[in-house]
């Protein structure tokens, strides 16, 4: 039996790839870059991180992204998959996260609630929602 090879021009991955607009791809690439830098960093506690961020109204986009990436493992119960920045293919975890950010930006709170409840335990939903809403606001400001 021979293993199936993967090719750079394999179009099967494109058919399942969610359509992301330019702003969403910018946000995703920002998260991917932060995820690369946070790979060896200590994981942060989701509850303590959110408590710190809520007191500082001038926290930059990077701080929200870094906190989100560091705490996502705790919220999901597993390490999320992030591809390298610039890659057009999107992992399941990235697609889920970007749909949350887009739902927040579009004020589609029914979809947001469904998505977050589908993967995150109740105890972590509020804090993760805060981080995602903050990320959304930082990329989709009018």
| Residue 93, domain extent | 21-139
Lowest mean pLDDT of 3-17, 78-92, 119-133, name the range.
3-17
Q: Tell me if 74 is assigned to some domain.
A: yes
pLDDT reported for residue 19: 74
Cα–Cα distance, 36 to 34 (Å, whole number) = 5
What pLDDT band is residue 104 in, cutting at 50, 70 and 90? very high
In sign, the C-alpha dihedral spanning 20, 53, 113, 122 is positive
Q: Tell me if 121 is assigned to some domain.
A: yes
- Greater confidence (79 vs 23) lies with 79
Give yes or no for a contact between 98 and 90, defined as CB atoms under 8 angstroms apart. yes
Q: Tell me if 1 is assigned to some domain.
A: no
Asked whether residue 18 carries a pLDDT value surpassing 80, the answer given is no
Cα–Cα distance, 142 to 139 (Å, whole number) = 9
- Greater confidence (86 vs 39) lies with 86
Task: Give me the long-range contacts of 60-63 (CB less than 8 A, separation at least 24).
Answer: 60/138, 61/30, 61/135, 61/138, 61/139, 62/30, 62/34
- Greater confidence (41 vs 38) lies with 38
Q: Tell me if 132 is assigned to some domain.
A: yes
Q: How many CB atoms lie within 10 A of CB 43?
A: 14
**Which phi and psi (to 5°) does residue 141 adopt?**
-65, 140
Q: Tell me if 12 is assigned to some domain.
A: no
Q: What is the pTM of this model?
A: 0.65
> For the chain, what is the domain count?
1
Residue 78 C-alpha from the chain's centroid: 14
Q: Tell me if 2 is assigned to some domain.
A: no
Q: Tell me if 122 is assigned to some domain.
A: yes
- Greater confidence (40 vs 36) lies with 36
Q: Tell me if 13 is assigned to some domain.
A: no
What pLDDT band is residue 63 in, cutting at 50, 70 and 90? confident
pLDDT reported for residue 40: 63
């Amino acid at each position: 039996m021979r293993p199936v090879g993967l090719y750079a021009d394999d179009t099967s991955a494109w058919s399942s790839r969610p359509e992301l607009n330019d702003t969403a791809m910018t946000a995703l690439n920002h998260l991917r870059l932060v995820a690369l830098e946070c790979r060896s960093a200590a994981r942060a506690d989701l509850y303590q991180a959110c408590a710190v961020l809520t007191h500082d109204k001038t926290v930059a986009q990077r701080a929200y992204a870094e906190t989100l990436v560091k705490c996502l493992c705790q919220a999901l119960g597993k390490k999320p998959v992030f591809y390298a920045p610039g890659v057009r293919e999107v992992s399941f975890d990235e697609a889920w996260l970007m749909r949350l950010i887009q739902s927040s930006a579009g004020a589609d709170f029914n979809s947001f609630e469904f998505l977050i409840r589908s993967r995150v335990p109740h105890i972590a939903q509020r804090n993760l929602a805060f981080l995602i809403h903050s990320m959304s606001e930082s990329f989709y400001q009018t």
